[in-house]
């Protein structure tokens, strides 16, 4: 599985290459990496919410 850090590093490197070598045709790849990072951010937020819900249910359950 590709990590968030790997996506962020790839975005930074690609942006640097695009600017350094004047390669605007790499823009669609950068956009795809941006979408992937946004998706990961949404997944992370959903997982955090799910964890909080589970913790709340566990603490509310009678023992």
Q: Indicate the pTM of the whole model.
A: 0.74
Chain mean pLDDT for the chain: 92
- CA torsion sign for 39, 13, 31, 26 is negative
Q: Give the C-alpha distances (Å, rounded to integers) separating 4 from 8, 26, 41, 53.
A: 6, 20, 9, 24
Domain boundaries, position 18: 4-60
Residue 14 has pLDDT above 90, yes or no: yes
**What is the rounded average pLDDT of the residues 5-34?**
94
Number of domains in the chain: 1
């Amino acid at each position: 599985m590709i990590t968030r850090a790997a996506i962020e590093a790839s975005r930074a490197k690609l942006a640097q290459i695009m600017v350094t070598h004047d390669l605007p045709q790499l823009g669609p790849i950068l956009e795809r990496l941006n979408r992937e990072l946004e998706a990961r951010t949404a997944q992370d937020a959903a997982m955090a919410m799910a964890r909080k819900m589970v913790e709340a249910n566990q603490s509310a359950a009678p023992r």
